[in-house]
Amino acid sequence: MSADLVAALAALPHGPEFRFVDALLSLDPGRSGTGQYRLPEDAVFLRGHFPGEPILPGVLLVEAVAQLGGVVAQSDPAVVPLAGLKLAGIRAAKIQGTARPGETVRLEATVSGRMGGLVQVAGSAWVDGRLILRCELTLAGDVV
């Protein structure tokens, strides 16, 4: 991974225990990006979701796309980064599959619009070439 991709990923405000993007595979600053998250075999939240049949919770799939969308939005060299950028809205989310322990989720996020402190993101998640999530998200932050 290039130094630019490492720096962009380091800009995520989340602590390591709530980061659902392990690596950036590509980044078109301010426009789109591709990342990945490997679901650990021993993730604490898998113990109860679901016993004997663990899967990544859908809400965490959405969060992973939101995190990648934040990296994409905040990397635009022509726009001052937003302070406190967070997931503010979920539209048209459709969970179409699952991710299981040990699998790698490929994430895609495209910034589809910006207005003031709001960023619209279209995203998806894939496992082994299978689409498991498609969503439209709104991220919100403070213009500095």
Assign domain 3-142 to a CATH class. alpha beta
Q: To 10 degrees, what angle do helices 58-74 and 3-10 make?
A: 120
Of the listed 49, 106, 114, 134, which one is catalytic?
49
Q: What tens digit of pLDDT does each residue of 62-119 get? A: 999 999 999 999 999 999 999 999 999 999 999 999 999 999 999 999 999 999 999 9
**Sorting pLDDT into bands at 50, 70 and 90, what band is 7?**
confident
Give the integer Cα–Cα distance in Å for 144 and 139: 15
Residue 79: predicted pLDDT: 93
Is it the case that residue 56 has pLDDT exceeding 70? yes
Other beta carbons within 10 angstroms of residue 62's beta carbon come to 20
* Domain extent listing, the chain: 3-142
Q: Is 14 a catalytic residue?
A: no
φ, ψ of residue 87 in degrees (nearest 5): -65, 125
